[in-house]
Amino acid sequence: MVDLIAIPETLRARDQWVCWREVIRDGKPTKVPIDPETGSFASSTDDRTWSDLETARTYLGTSDADGLGFVFTDSDPIVGVDLDDCRDPETGQPEVDAKAIIDCLESYTEVSPSGTGYHVLVFGDLPDGRNRRGKIELYDRARFFTVTCEHVSGTPTAVCDRQSELEAVHDEYVRESVTNRADTQGKGRGGTEPRESTLSDSELLEKAMAASNGDKFERLWNGNTVGYDSQSEADMALCCLLAFWTGGDRAQLDRLFRRSGLVREKWDEVHYADGSTYGDRTVERAIDTTSEFYDPRAQSTGESDSERSEETRDTTRDQEYLERKNRLLAERVDELETKLEEKTELIETLEARLERVGEKAPHEETRSTSERDASLWNRFWSLVGRGR
């Protein structure tokens, strides 16, 4: 039996407990939440399938459950940090990044059921943006955490308020890739410093269109998006070219883009929680991913713009843009996987509820089999409709 004393009081006092059972889905072990009162499938979005901790522990004593789980909701201030595949189960030693995260958060931490990861619980608000990258995932609602009570020695025994620390971890390990951290913010890729533009708008456009990749620049400048999967990709491509020629001058880059054939209302739409617009972030990313900037001093050596490896720079930018696109696609996959898990839980809950509805309707036995089946299916789809 689980030692309830090892569980922080703030968790013990909440009726947000389920049990879980390991099942095989698509050849992989999956932890499925179980309602401790009925033994049916539970849902991380339906509080009628949760219970108090004592009830959950009692059900855990049966052969139908493999462990305890705590459900995160909108109404509680608890955030779970899941660190996966980062602990040696034989030595108990964490990987460097995992240890850094645990030390930074300094809150209740326990070993995961597999023995190869950690769960950290903190008080705070989960920052906006993606919540998963690689071996780290953060939850604050519509999910449940397995609870083992295998407390990590040296960490607090209580859930602590760690808002600033949570934001730091999210910013460092989740929001952006490890190769694009704060020490390179405001610089070009590789740490190249942007500089104030020395070209007027007309001079810049003349040079950009006369360069070896001038045809590409001119097509984008005129609003031609042929060769790009979306206009957003074309926007980024033009901004990367402008970033080079403006020397990373944000004001000039934004001013010129607004003169191009690609500008649209979306440019000024607020897309981020900090008030940043789509245009703000596109400019920022273009500058951050530009490997070098136009240097007028090269003219004094007699080196022409076209001789300064324009083709190489263009190839580098294209490669960097593809890498960035792949990261965005990975984020989208993460979001879809999370939604799929939630839908699967909902279907299981509705199936269990449908089964109970059938059991509690003895009058159905007097009806024909086809009528009874039709009635049950009608109720099932009615529940599905309400659960959407």
Q: What is the average pLDDT score of the chain?
A: 80
347-376 pLDDT, tens digit each = 877 777 777 776 655 554 445 555 555 555
Q: Give me the residues paired with residue 69 across strands.
A: 18, 146
Q: Give the residue from 281, 287, 238, 285 showing the smallest Cα distance to 258.
A: 238
Residue 316: is its pLDDT beyond 60? Answer: no
Give Cα separations from 378 to 160, 186, 227, 230 (angstroms). Answer: 47, 58, 49, 42
- Please report which helix (H) or strand (E) contains residue 32, including its range: strand 28-34
Confidence of residue 388 (pLDDT cuts 50, 70, 90): very low
134-158 pLDDT, tens digit each = 889 999 988 999 999 999 999 999 9
CB-CB contact of 118 with 87 (8 Å)? yes
CA 126 from centroid of its chain's CA atoms: 11
The CA distance from 264 to 295, in Å, is 31
The CA distance from 178 to 149, in Å, is 31
Q: Give the residue from 248, 295, 278 showing the smallest Cα distance to 256.
A: 248
The CA distance from 276 to 273, in Å, is 7
Q: Exposed e or buried b for every residue in 75-103, given b needs 16+ CB within 10 A? A: ebebbbbbbbebbeeeeeebeebbeebbe
Residue spans of alpha helices (H) in 191-249? 201-210, 214-221, 231-246
Which residue ranges make up each domain of the chain?
4-175, 184-308, 334-387
Of the ranges 27-31, 45-49, 56-60, 349-353, which one carries the lowest mean pLDDT score?
349-353
What pLDDT is attached to residue 323? 60
What pLDDT is attached to residue 191? 46
